[in-house]
Structure 1
Amino acid sequence: MESYEDKLELVASGRAIAVLPVGDLRSSLRPDLVTVPIEGAPPSRVVVVSRKGDPNPMIRSFRLAAKAVLTAPAA
């Protein structure tokens, strides 16, 4: 799957589910899908991966922003 819309199509067809972060407004793009809050679930791990030496300055900016706001798992 390349695009967000392709992924939503899989969900709409009943072949997949999606877990979105709270506040993700993209789920409102399709009137045939609804969101259901998941309560009591433990926080999920976030992993950021990029190609070594990627020249795109947005990659570096994103990594710095993610590092600034994400917390490490409890030891």
Structure 2
Amino acid sequence: MDALDEQIIEALSKRFQVCREVAHFKKTEKIPMMQPGRVEEVKKRRQDLGFQKRISKDFMLDLYDLIIQESCRIEDEIIEEN
């Protein structure tokens, strides 16, 4: 279990690093941080993928709400810095 938890944390770290790169791009190109249609698309696709892997849709929705919340926090921080 410890090794699996480390893999999950490593994957999240990589995901958030990509979010940082995206935030810098959005800042440079003056693209709005929030993309509501994209957020809903991501959550729906992850719910479906989780369901295929026998993970409840509610769990996947809660998980991706947290992941997206942290991604938005990271992007806000980068976009708003001078």
* TM-score normalized by the length of structure 2: 0.29
Q: Which has the higher helix share?
A: 2
* TM-score normalized by the length of structure 1: 0.31
Higher RCO by CA contacts (8 Å cutoff, separation 6 or greater): 2
Structure number with bigger Rg: 1
